[in-house]
Amino acid sequence: MNCLRRESVIQEDFSFFLAILLLNQLVHFRFVGFVRLPSLSETMHMTPFRRLGVIACLGAMVALGGCNKTAAPPSKAGPPEVVVDKPIVREVGDHEDFNGRTEAIDSVIVRARVSGYLDKVLFKNGEDVSQGASLAEIDPRIFAASLEQGKASVAQAKAHADRLEKDYRRAQELAARNAISREELEKVQGDRAEALAAVAKADAEEKLYAIQLNYTKIIAPLSGRLGHRLIDPGNLVKADDTPIVSIVALDPLYAEFDVDERTLLRLRRLIKEGKMTSARTSEVDVRIGLSDEEGFSRTGVIRFADNRVNPTTGTLKVRAVMPNPDLLLSPGLFVRVRIQVGQAKKSLLIPEEALGSDQGQKFVYVMNDQNEAIYKRVKCGPQSGEYRVIEEGIGPDDLVVVSGTQRIRPGAKATPKMREAKKS
């Protein structure tokens, strides 16, 4: 019985301690101060009247703190501020941009024209050479001996032909006096013709030996830049088979790019309507930009368009020729090619950041006289630097929101502020 009573007292003391703890936290929250909390052992020795006094005091402090603390009135936010500007009116020409690569107009892999052992290499890897420069030599001794043999054969054939020429003349005189038969005359005449043919054959063989000797000196067939050496001296090279080195011409170069089907059809329709010049009838200029620059620093002229569309890629291959006098460019570099489409015309331009996208449709916000944001869909044209041509949807006097579009909604009020940035 005493045990049950003792457990009841302990539970009562613990509940009183939790109540004091809660009130203390409330007082601390209201007054941001410190109130000493009695320990559990102290609460066990308090009389019931003292416990009621402690709870009453803490409750009064909470009540007074709640009465003194007043809630701050809610602040009224004004309309958001947005930056607006009028569209720029400027003459802009439509264009199409393509990605491409530089290609060498002329390139060749130099090979030996005769078989033999490579005797000398006269070039350095990667150097620039002119057409006709000596690159390598094949051992010429065998070919020089063959040429001397050919010369001797020519001399022998000519001597034999001279003797038969004299025999033919004597035979003609004898035949005129009927001193020899017709058959004997024809035999001498045939021997003479064979001798003359032998002279011609010997002459041709001499020229062939001279050409082969000349081919032992390997020369550059065009001006350009060499690659690395593909064979070392001392190796056997085979005629028209063994590669020696490659050469590519660097000035001028091709800028090769592919035109997709939709753009191809659009350009051909413009040509039929007389709004664009065809590369087949006159020169069409293009602008060419490199991968490390923003603009287009070089120019070129279209020289070739393929006669069929590649069914695998759906594109037509086009080549433009561009000068490369400083030899800065090499075949294989990435380039951007821009083709002017039609004549330049007056257009409205707005900053690119003013455009929004809604399910694939471009739109802008325009401020009206009541400072309300009006949602307008627009039709975009080509890009011109940091600006975008707008073909339909706005007028030249509209105040277009160029900054702060994320803070407004259609029909919402806003405080417009004119853009201070300089128009370019």
Cis-peptide into 351, omega within 30 deg: no
SS3 163: helix
Asked whether residue 53 carries a pLDDT value surpassing 80, the answer given is no
Query: Residue 411 falls within a domain, yes or no?
Result: yes
Here the CATH number for the domain that contains residue 142 is 2.40.50.100
Output the pLDDT for position 175. Answer: 83
Query: Residue 78 falls within a domain, yes or no?
Result: no
Helix ranges, 126-236 (H): 141-176, 182-215
Query: Residue 76 falls within a domain, yes or no?
Result: no
Asked whether residue 381 carries a pLDDT value surpassing 70, the answer given is yes
Sign of CA dihedral 85, 86, 92, 98: positive
Query: Residue 295 falls within a domain, yes or no?
Result: yes
Exposed, middle or buried: residue 226 (CB in 10 Å: 0-12, 13-18, 19+)?
buried
Total of domains in the chain: 4
Selection from 387, 419, 386, 385 nearest residue 402 by Cα: 419
Mind listing the pLDDT tens digit for each residue in 267-319?
899 888 888 888 888 888 999 999 998 888 999 999 999 999 999 999 999 99
Mind listing the pLDDT tens digit for each residue in 327-348?
999 999 999 999 888 777 788 8
In the DSSP assignment, the letter for residue 353 is G
Same domain? 207 vs 130: yes
Mind listing the pLDDT tens digit for each residue in 60-75?
554 555 544 455 555 5
CB 3 within 8 A of CB 29: no
Same domain? 231 vs 273: no
Mind listing the pLDDT tens digit for each residue in 248-270?
999 999 999 999 999 999 889 98
For residue 178, the enclosing domain spans 107-248
Output the pLDDT for position 26. Answer: 47
Question: For the CA atoms of 367, 372, 376, 382, what is the dihedral angle to 10 degrees?
Answer: 30
Here the CATH number for the domain that contains residue 407 is 2.40.420.20
Same domain? 170 vs 236: yes
Here the CATH number for the domain that contains residue 331 is 2.40.30.170
Same domain? 111 vs 242: yes
Output the pLDDT for position 180. Answer: 82
Q: Which residue, 299, 317, 343, sits at the end of a domain?
A: 343
Weakest-pLDDT range from 136-145, 217-226, 337-346: 337-346
Same domain? 200 vs 307: no
Q: Which residues contact 88 (CB under 8 A, 6 or more apart)?
A: 348, 349, 350, 387, 423
Q: Which residue, 282, 310, 343, sits at the end of a domain?
A: 343
| CA atoms of 400 and 88, how far apart (whole Å) | 11
Asked whether residue 11 carries a pLDDT value surpassing 60, the answer given is no
CB 110 within 8 A of CB 243: yes
Asked whether residue 115 carries a pLDDT value surpassing 80, the answer given is yes
Sign of CA dihedral 146, 151, 157, 160: negative
Query: Residue 393 falls within a domain, yes or no?
Result: yes
Same domain? 363 vs 339: no
CB 79 within 8 A of CB 415: yes
Query: Residue 74 falls within a domain, yes or no?
Result: no
Same domain? 127 vs 221: yes
Same domain? 369 vs 323: no
Same domain? 287 vs 388: no
Query: Residue 153 falls within a domain, yes or no?
Result: yes
Q: Retrieve residue 190's tokens.
A: 């045939």
Same domain? 160 vs 272: no
Selection from 327, 255, 331, 253 nearest residue 289 by Cα: 255
Same domain? 236 vs 140: yes
Same domain? 283 vs 414: no
In the DSSP assignment, the letter for residue 397 is T
Taking each helix axis as running N to C, give the angle between helix 182-215 and helix 141-176, from 0 to 180 degrees, rounded to the nearest 10: 160
Residue 33: pLDDT band with limits 50, 70, 90: very low
Output the pLDDT for position 27. Answer: 44
Q: Which residue, 217, 248, 279, sits at the end of a domain?
A: 248
Percentage of the chain modeled with pLDDT above 90 = 45
